[in-house]
Each structure stands twice: as C-alpha cells, then as structure tokens.
Structure 1
C-alpha cells in the first residue's frame, strides 16, 4: 500500500505553501505574480502568506500608488466575519489608542475566477510576523522591547473587546512588525524587504 502523500503528486508539503489540491471548484483563486486585478486597481507583487482558507498577497494599488495586502479567500468560504469586523472598526471613529494597532480595511471586492467567486479584502501592508522574524534571526526581545510589544497587543485587544470582538487565535504569528515609511520604498526595496517570491519581469 502506497503512502498517502502519493495520492496527491502535486502537493508540495512545504511550510508556507498552500495545498495545491485546493485549486479546484470552491477552492483557491490561482494568482500569478504580475496579475492585475479588480479593473486594473491591484497588481500582484509577491505572496505574503496563506492559511487553510485564503492566500495573502503584497500588491501595488495602482490608483492610490501605495502598497497593500490583498487577501483572497477560497470560493466556498462562508461570509467573512473578518470583513464585518474590519468594517465595524473602520466606521467606529474610535479614539482608543489600540485602534492604531489593528488592520485598516481599504477596500473589498468580489473576484470571479475558474474556481468560483472570491470575496476579497484589501488592508494596509504591515510587515513580517514577530514570531517568525525572531525565530529566523535566532534572537529574543530585550525586556524593554517585549514590554512595549505586550502593551501594544493588549491595547489592540482592549479596543476589540470594547466592540464585543474576541480574537480567538492570538499568537506571535498574528502579530507583525510595522515598516515605517513602507509607501516611500521603491518597489525593488519593498520586494527585497519581504524576501519571498521575486517579481519576474
């Protein structure tokens, strides 16, 4: 009897890669570096990450001339609670100090593809995950930096709690370093910073 991995010969099994078998009806939208989506608005630069239900892409907003993150969920994803939460926060006018540490919804749109209709969200692009960054550099935070980071995370959580929102999956992979002046970077420097897939010209 063959090992189960041979049932799916195109499954890469590598960390950071989605299951290629989900590129079917109801599954992932096939994205290519350089694709231009949503009536010429968003140009795909590189992949930022993925989970079981979506892929996330570093994208150039050609209208606003800024870098953004585009999250494309699988087509059979249920209505997005994330979108509802982001809309609530965006319309809140909150002065809570924690609001500045939360995602900002910039746009939402539907993307129709071979595998179905995908309800996409666009947010600011932030930076690298804290846990992954520290692990890759084999370092830990000093006490002062750890306290500052903890304070910011707690302020963000307190802000969510004020709106009756509970984050059910918080760990270092959900916390990112911000990149000061990210939109003043050239595209080349932006791509170099994230060090993932390079844009092929």
Structure 2
C-alpha cells in the first residue's frame, strides 16, 4: 500500500481510503496509476495514464464511507452541470441563422474551472469508492510554499 508518510494505516479500513499501488488499474484497465499527487480528509489523488485518450489524468479516489460517497456524488452532479451548461452554442440553421451563444460557454472564467473528464465506482477491500477523473493541474499551494 502506497499511503505516504502523512497518512495513517488505520485510515485504510472499511469506510476509509482505498489502498493504491503504483501500476494499479481502474475502470476496466483504462487508468493506470503512475504516482501519488496528494491526499486530503476526503480522498487521495493519483497521477494516472488514460490508455483510451493517451494522456495523463488526475484520479481522485474518495473514501468509501456513505457520507463521503454522498458528497462525491454531489460534486459529480455539480461538475456535470458545469459541463452541460458549457456546451457550445447550436449551429445556425435556416430557421435560426444567428443562435445566441451559451452564457457559460462564452464566460471569461470558464477556462479557470477544472476539466472534469470521467467518473466511476471501484470495488476494493474497504468497500466501494467513487472515483473522479480530472485534467492534471500544476503544483498545489503547499508545494509552492515548500519550494520557496
């Protein structure tokens, strides 16, 4: 189990974190774990390789307790709502030659919202975990503080 020096072994129990090792695969082999990116009270986050899209992604594996699952599902709903509302405007048609652009699609802040790519559930020794897949971002604030 690759839990890092900041996680306690007793957190890897039913309702807790999913034990992950480098090379583990998720979602029918689509995502392969490369290394740990971070952790929090709610989840661990891993750099993974997406074999379907041939790119690296951030794989967030949520603790399996019902309260964390519920929160994760709410997060997914919110992220899906952002995706749905940011759908590009419809193409012009003869009956509507100048359709209005989607407000979310044209919003200048849209590029500052993380790109949510996928989600699935993973059954492990500590029960079922909600997993979310995001674009990989840069260094986190703690990493910057430690660096400087």
- TM-score clears 0.5: yes
Superposition deviation, residue 86 in structure 1: 1.0
- What residue is the counterpart of 1:32 in the other structure? 21
Q: 2:41 aligns with which of 26, 35, 52?
A: 52
Superposition deviation, residue 13 in structure 1: 9.5
> Is this contact kept in 2: 1:18–1:51, CA < 8 A?
no
Unaligned runs of 5+ in 2: 87-103
User: Is 1:84 the equivalent of 2:63?
Assistant: no
Point out the structure with the larger strand share.
2
Could you list the per-position Cα deviations for residues 44-85 of structure 1 after superposition, in whole angstroms to 9, with x for gaps in the alignment?
000000001200000000110001000000001231222122
Superposition deviation, residue 98 in structure 1: 0.9
- What residue is the counterpart of 1:137 in the other structure? 147
CA RMSD of aligned residues (A): 1.7
Point out the structure with the larger helix share.
1
> Is this contact kept in 2: 1:18–1:52, CA < 8 A?
no
Could you list the per-position Cα deviations for residues 146-190 of structure 1 after superposition, in whole angstroms to 9, with x for gaps in the alignment?
xxxxxxxxxxxxxxxxxxxxxxxxxxxxxxxxxxxxxxxxxxxxx
Unaligned runs of 5+ in 1: 1-11, 139-201
Q: How does 1:60-79 map to 2 (within 5 A)?
A: 60-76=49-65, 77-79=68-70
Superposition deviation, residue 132 in structure 1: 2.8
Superposition deviation, residue 99 in structure 1: 1.3
User: Is 1:97 the equivalent of 2:108?
Assistant: yes
TM-score, with structure 2 as normaliser:
0.78
TM-score, with structure 1 as normaliser:
0.58
SS class of match (1:119):
strand
Could you list the per-position Cα deviations for residues 80-123 of structure 1 after superposition, in whole angstroms to 9, with x for gaps in the alignment?
22212211111112221111111111000000011000011001
Distance 1:46 1:38 in 2: 17
Q: How does 1:116-195 map to 2 (within 5 A)?
A: 116-133=127-144, 135-138=145-148
Runs of 4+ in 1 over 6 A off after TM superposition: none
